[in-house]
Chains A and B, each alone.
Chain A
Amino acid sequence: NAGVMQNPRHLVRRRGQEARLRCSPMKGHSHVYWYRQLPEEGLKFMVYLQKENIIDESGMPKERFSAEFPKEGPSILRIQQVVRGDSAAYFCASSRGQGNTYEQYFGPGTRLTVT
């Protein structure tokens, strides 16, 4: 029973490039959450998606960041025109039900470095 998969594990981008982070939820889970961990900070919520729908994107920066979770395939977090401040660890989690009374299962994270 594979857990939550994220790739790549490490990603280096130069300023102005695009970063694409992928997350495959656990089998049977249709709810995906993205979190960001900045250096010396805790996990911060970014976006919550269900298949083909964005449920809550209140934690997403208004510009350059977007997320999707298509009917087929992984969830994608996309950062356009990256800046140094985007350097962080990005974690995705999945759950089997809606709402925060279900356990969230986390992936290993993608560490993005912007040079």
Chain B
Amino acid sequence: AQSVTQPDIHITVSEGASLELRCNYSYGATPYLFWYVQSPGQGLQLLLKYFSGDTLVQGIKGFEAEFKRSQSSFNLRKPSVHWSDAAEYFCAVGRSGTASKLTFGTGTRLQVTL
């Protein structure tokens, strides 16, 4: 069965600093991978997704993620964090061929200090 691990429950970074949120997945075939962001009191917004092809994926709001099959990872990065990036971030994996029946990680809460 597929699973997702986000090892960091809570991360604090200073505004302007770089950010990397970790995501490790377990899935036997080629996974579909997603990062979602949830701002306080809001629903989930898709940041980016990986289906195939280039392993470095660009998303919205200046985020990117890199798929590394050898490490079963899909880490999210941003070179310079803004205070508005404070939110909870979820990594998710779907079965190859479809994003249906996503399995979500437990989330990483990002705090940004000024």
A binds B: no
